[in-house]
Amino acid sequence: MTDDPGGSTSGLLAGEDPSIRSGPTDADWAAAVDALRGLDPDARVLLICHVNPDGDALGSMLGFGLGLCRLGSRRVQATFPGPPEVPEPFRDLPGLELLVPAVEAYHDPDLVLCFDAASESRLGDLVDRLALAAPAVVLDHHASNTGFGDIHLVDPRAAATSVVAEELLTRLDVPLDAGIAECLYVALATDTGSFRFDATTPDVHRMAARLLATGIRPGEISRRIFDTRPFGAVRLHGDVLNRTRLEPAAAGGHGFVWTYATLADLARHDQQPYVLEPLIDSVRCTAEADVSGVLKQIAEDGWAVSLRSKGAVDVSRVAVALGGGGHRFAAGFTGRGTAQDVVARIRAELDTALLRAVERD
């Protein structure tokens, strides 16, 4: 196990930009600070985070957006591709007033900032805004980041994109207030699994301490973000977990455990797709398997797949090979076909990933 969330000690991923691996240079930070300090208060600034946003995507984007407002920017918009609905757990986040639906986002912004997106494909149709804006600043922490955009603040050693966002706010002399802190805390808590994963370094706890010192209430925030769901979702989880399959021989004998949730499951329990996100945390508890997966149906033949590993397999390699991305221990991709088709592809890639790891060692 390693405390390197991006697994940057292993070989390059397909499409990975080698300059990303060592984190932002002084020149990268200086370029970002110059771009933001020289900003006219009426410049149109567009913040974009990845599709199907999680706590890090929304939290780092909105926290930074609030910081920009404190800096004097009057025209700050935040957005993400796809349906504009914010998942229920995030509907009390500070800075939500900055959010606009993707179709209403500035078409020719003066500056774009991207949050928590490893590749342009995670920005959907909003990717056209990058071509028009000069410059586009990318804040991210995926080792699989492709190096898109103009100014790269990509640190694969950072536990969350909000770590990068906080550093940039500090360099811009924007003090933390409770609103900014709550957003950055939600992001940090999400990506460290509530400070349980190996990415939880002393620096992560020091950052959490700075955020908590603004007076935010961690118990209340955690209950809202992680520990609240509709009764229908509790019963839906029961159905989905009940059909979990364990394949002890898969992943070279390290074991693979997986399940799937269909659109019919959601409809039967009258639930929104976001309620499926915590399922992977129940599945990955399985002692007999190193690798876990949850397939979440998004269309007749389309599945959003979450993969997790306890360390034997670098699942970001599996996800990248199947058109997605992520980190060594947490990755995902969008799969086509039936659930069985998608699982067969994962099985095959798990073996390939292990073979490649053996060849490297």
Where along the sequence are the contacts to ligand AMP (CB under 6 A)? 54, 118, 122, 306, 324-327, 330-334
Task: Please tell me whether residue 116 binds Mn ion under the rule CB under 5 A.
Answer: yes
Of 84 and 253, the one with the shorter C-beta distance to Mn ion is 84
Strand order in the sheet with 44-49: 75-79, 44-49, 111-115, 136-140, 151-154
Of 90 and 333, the one with the shorter C-beta distance to ligand AMP is 333
Residue 331 binds: one of Mn ion, ligand AMP, none (C-beta under 5 to 8 A by kind): ligand AMP
- Whose CA is closest to 161, among 183, 176, 177? 183
C-alpha–C-alpha distance, residues 361 and 353, integer Å: 13
- Whose CA is closest to 97, among 82, 111, 115, 77? 77
C-alpha–C-alpha distance, residues 307 and 294, integer Å: 7
Residue 265 binds: one of ligand AMP, Mn ion, none (C-beta under 5 to 8 A by kind): none
- Whose CA is closest to 258, among 215, 317, 205, 318? 318
C-alpha–C-alpha distance, residues 74 and 39, integer Å: 11
For residue 277, the minimal CB distance to ligand AMP (Å) is: 7
Report 53-82 residues binding Mn ion (CB under 5 A).
54, 56-57
The alpha helices in the chain, defined as continuous H runs, are 26-37, 55-71, 128-132, 161-171, 178-191, 202-212, 218-225, 231-242, 263-268, 279-283, 315-321, 339-360
For residue 332, the minimal CB distance to ligand AMP (Å) is: 2
Of 106 and 333, the one with the shorter C-beta distance to ligand AMP is 333
For residue 324, the minimal CB distance to ligand AMP (Å) is: 3
For residue 202, the minimal CB distance to Mn ion (Å) is: 20
Residue 166 binds: one of ligand AMP, Mn ion, none (C-beta under 5 to 8 A by kind): none
Residue nearest Mn ion by beta-carbon distance = 56
C-alpha–C-alpha distance, residues 84 and 299, integer Å: 18
For residue 223, the minimal CB distance to ligand AMP (Å) is: 20
Report 191-230 residues binding Mn ion (CB under 5 A).
191
Residue nearest ligand AMP by beta-carbon distance = 332
For residue 232, the minimal CB distance to Mn ion (Å) is: 25
C-alpha–C-alpha distance, residues 332 and 323, integer Å: 9
Binding site for Mn ion (CB under 5 A): 54, 56-57, 116, 161, 191
